[in-house]
Structure 1
């Protein structure tokens, strides 16, 4: 880190932050949203957390002095955790934006966690998103999956949702499920089972995030700005130690509210959409990684055609590379005819 007195945010950047949080892509996920102060609090880097004028959206900044983050004011046993997010653009190698649930601050050695991690990249390469599931401190058994996205996540807002029930976990991008983990007896304590808080952060992960740490954060492009809107928290608010609900109605009303969204039910149409997304955009799955895990996890749904494409490492060796071309004054994304090795 460079020394010296930290400069204040320029007026131009402040305007960019507040304007960017005001425009949100519409999705078909119909849920009630919260003002920031009604459900969240700053976590760290408070000077790099900028609220919108109406208090319903927030931007997190990373500069050479600090990252930033926020946390839900309550802990939840099961729930729907959702936000519309716009990621930083340009050169973002080493930058990680995370949207996740965790109880590591309370259960240090037996924590649970559900992750969306957005991994920045060098100019011209796409952001990647990674999901992960940890239960009861099972950090040695990471359940990572990694994907590219069918859109530019820096150009507009898109909704990312984590649905966690007693029976299943579903990760959504807009209204498309991209991953489901179904609870089974074989999973045991690996299935998250304790109350968790919702976190959102932006931070410097130069040592691993881009090509295994080959490309670092370049603060010439700072501040890196990630904006969050349509903030949603549905679930049973629970005291983490006594494991009792903090509301008189208990958990029944919260369970009913989550069920009413329909997001926990995997219809045939949703399952087809999920398989199509995974077939086209998934670049790594722990379910096919025989190097790390000779036997697949019990919740893995092995698809033979996927197994052939991912080989023994779980990594897709080649994918169709998208490139940007200018057409009539606008930039379009098209597929190259050549297949390029994945970074």
Structure 2
């Protein structure tokens, strides 16, 4: 039996308070009401895009695994084109060594509009084992790839351990990117953007591929096929929008009503709590934004909203200042001070064991 002295109890209180503070602070910003979504089977939503031999579907057709090996990557495409919508999937990243790999979930119409295509991207950049995963979001309109609107972030969790839901809201008014129902980025349509705002019907894609030339540390780390196959899992597939013919010159009359329905959904606007969550994420995990890249854009693009608390963290190149550390690093540093025994004892005593 272990007896606790007054001094030992005092020593346990500080780590417990610290742990509770960190947990409460984090969960306060991560609270989000669950979206009411209808999920689809693979057959009802997607078709193979390339390398069907590297695509594995579950027996119930609700989960699809995309493989990358030394022969090829793989990809899927939505069976229909959409004129605005909300597109989402629960995704689990490949594990172990994944340098040089890109897993992407995005919308595009490059197959139909080769020289003036639109695109909305969530791209996960492979990591060196033990390092935080990185990912980026992009917005392209009317072939404006030379005027890319990229932002890059680090994860506050390991996306290879469990599935997490990622979503893209694309409406006539705005684009919102989501991670686990947390809005991480909002691009509000500005008239000065003109064709740079995506407005033509798009398909939805999911792919995994070898991007050794740039994805990890600027291409210094390559895909290591000793760890193949690399498997990305997609499930809980959601495609909500107006289905259209991409080359039809007369928009479907049904889209007026369906777009109105889309705009009324809870994921089409950000609540005050959602804005707190978005600020929490961006101030701790965003490490590049084109809006603060004064070298690339001496005058910020018209849709940029300059936020002083973000602005002060970035150099003129849009990257973090050298003395800025991301929130995950600071939190891990504090958590290391709590011994394993103290953590387990304190958390079990307070009924918060699930948060370890």
SS state at 2:312 partner: helix
> 2-side partners of 1:27 and 1:85: how far apart?
20
2:10: which partner in 1?
A: none
More helix per residue: 2
> 2-side partners of 1:243 and 1:182: how far apart?
26
1:150: which partner in 2?
A: 156
For 1:188, which of 181, 190, 194 is the aligned residue?
A: 194
Identify if the C-alpha distance between structure 1 residues 256 and 265 changes in structure 2 by more than 3 Å, giving closer, same or farther: same
2:238: which partner in 1?
A: 232
> 2-side partners of 1:312 and 1:250: how far apart?
46
> 1-side partners of 2:282 and 2:40: how far apart?
31
Maintained 8 Å contact 1:238/1:244: no
Deviations 1:36-83 (A, max 9, x none): 001110001101100011001101000000100000011011000100
SS state at 2:148 partner: coil
1:159: which partner in 2?
A: 165
1:272: which partner in 2?
A: 276
Matches of residues 44-83 of structure 1 in structure 2 within 5 Å? 44-83=50-89
Q: Does 1:115 align with 2:121?
A: yes
Deviations 1:286-316 (A, max 9, x none): 0001111111111111112211211101111
Instruction: Please list every run of at least 4 consecutive aligned residues from structure 1 whose deviation after the TM superposition is greater than 6 angstroms.
Output: 323-326
2:103: which partner in 1?
A: 97
Identify if the C-alpha distance between structure 1 residues 277 and 52 changes in structure 2 by more than 3 Å, giving closer, same or farther: same
Deviations 1:115-170 (A, max 9, x none): 00000111111211100000000010010001111211111111000000000000
- State how many pairs are aligned: 303
1:173: which partner in 2?
A: 179
Question: Which of structures 1 and 2 has the bigger CA Rg?
Answer: 2
More strand per residue: 1
SS state at 2:263 partner: helix
> 2-side partners of 1:32 and 1:244: how far apart?
28
> Which TM-score applies when normalising by structure 2?
0.81
Q: Any gaps of 5 or more consecutive residues in structure 1?
A: 1-25, 332-343
> 2-side partners of 1:48 and 1:242: how far apart?
33
Maintained 8 Å contact 1:61/1:67: yes
Maintained 8 Å contact 2:171/2:263: no
